[in-house]
């Protein structure tokens, strides 16, 4: 067949167009000037059929990061918080919103290599008005990564990885960074480009200062050697935030703000109300938008190379 896509990561016409064009000739990235030999498809006996894919579609383990790092330097978002704070539910909600047509501010969804993992979260999160079912807790030994490929208006591809570790490991890590059972939390903290810190409104209502102390222990560990990595505090189950004691809520907000230099906060919920709901339909994705924006600003910082102040002839030589 005549024609080939100009985008290196797109294999059209051998595989479907990455931009979703049914007719390759209508895609602006498709060139008719190149001839491509499409391999003959061999039909195998189902009993003999074996997958040669390097990936399964399930959430990544840490030793599978090379499946995306070979093409881009992936952005890792560390999802941090105590058990039952809503971390996995948030991930399920973000995927569900994108699946239903919602969009990020500056990037379009361009695929995922963990589609089965996302689908599992999506099917566990069956949203109904008036009720909020939550996915089962993440196993303590688990340290999964969920993948999104995103593309901006300049056709630049970015790979995002979201961590999904048990809240128990963050509670252990908050007390002792070197706890032998907190390896997942240490890896997430060391390797993430940005963080989402979950604040459980329900826990603040029920446990009050006890819940606040646990949140601040985690925040204190995060602030250690954080540099300028962005942190956004997400007030989960925020449909109940007005039931949190006002003094407790305001003091926690102030302490969190003082703990981080590159900081923001957002209220989210999965509790559906009639009509467009900002807590559900907007704020979940705004969390991702803000983090990507902060990471991109940091990565595009211009560095000025100062001229050396030296009398050394070799140091001052600038060539012809």
- Each residue's pLDDT expressed in tens, for the chain with a length of 320 residues: 567 777 655 666 655 565 667 676 778 777 776 665 544 434 444 444 444 455 689 999 988 988 898 888 999 999 999 999 999 999 999 998 898 889 999 999 999 999 999 999 888 776 544 455 555 555 555 689 999 999 999 999 999 999 999 999 999 999 999 999 999 999 999 999 999 999 999 999 999 999 999 999 999 999 999 999 999 999 999 989 999 999 999 999 999 999 999 999 999 987 655 555 676 778 999 999 999 999 988 766 433 333 444 454 443 444 44
Same domain, 29 and 67: no
| Residue from 45, 136, 31, 26 nearest 92 by CA | 136
Contacts for 62-66: CB closer than 8 Å, 24+ residues apart: 62/143, 62/145, 62/187, 64/145, 65/145, 65/161
Strand order in the sheet with 194-200: 107-109, 143-152, 157-165, 75-80, 194-200, 231-236, 263-267
Enclosing domain of residue 137: 62-299
Report H helices in 77-208: 87-99, 115-124, 167-175, 183-191, 201-207
Same domain, 30 and 67: no
Both tokens of 34, joined, read 């190149």
Same domain, 9 and 110: no
The secondary structure element, H or E, covering residue 66 is: helix 66-69
Same domain, 9 and 143: no
Same domain, 15 and 141: no
- What CATH number corresponds to the domain at position 263? 3.40.50.300
Same domain, 143 and 6: no
């Amino acid at each position: 067949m005549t024609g080939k896509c100009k985008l290196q990561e797109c294999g059209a016409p051998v595989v479907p167009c990455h931009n979703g064009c049914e007719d390759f000739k209508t895609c602006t990235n498709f060139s008719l000037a190149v001839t491509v030999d499409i391999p003959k498809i061999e039909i195998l006996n189902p009993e003999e059929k074996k997958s040669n894919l390097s990936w399964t579609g399930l959430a990544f383990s840490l030793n599978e990061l090379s499946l995306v790092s070979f093409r881009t330097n992936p952005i890792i978002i560390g999802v941090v918080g105590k058990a039952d704070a809503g971390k996995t539910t948030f991930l399920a909600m973000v995927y569900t919103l994108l699946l239903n047509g919602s969009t990020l501010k500056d990037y379009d969804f361009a695929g995922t290599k963990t589609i089965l993992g996302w689908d599992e979260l999506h099917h566990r999160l069956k949203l109904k008005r008036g009720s909020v079912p939550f996915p089962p807790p993440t196993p303590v030994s688990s340290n999964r990564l969920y993948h999104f490929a995103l593309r901006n208006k300049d056709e630049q591809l970015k790979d995002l990885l979201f961590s999904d570790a048990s809240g128990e490991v963050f509670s252990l890590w908050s007390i002792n960074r070197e706890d032998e059972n907190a390896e997942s939390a240490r890896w997430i903290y060391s390797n993430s480009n940005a963080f989402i810190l979950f604040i459980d409104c329900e826990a603040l209502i029920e446990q009050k200062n006890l819940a606040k102390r646990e949140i601040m222990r985690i925040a204190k560990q995060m602030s250690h050697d954080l540099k300028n990595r962005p942190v956004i505090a997400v007030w989960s189950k925020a449909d109940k935030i007005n039931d949190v004691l006002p003094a407790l809520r305001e003091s926690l907000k102030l302490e969190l703000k003082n703990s981080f230099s590159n900081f923001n906060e957002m209220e989210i919920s999965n509790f559906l109300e009639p009509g467009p709901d900002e807590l559900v339909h907007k704020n979940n994705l705004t969390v991702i938008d803000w983090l990507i924006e902060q990471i991109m600003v940091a990565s595009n910082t211009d560095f000025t190379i100062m001229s050396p102040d030296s009398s050394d002839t070799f140091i001052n030589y600038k060539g012809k």
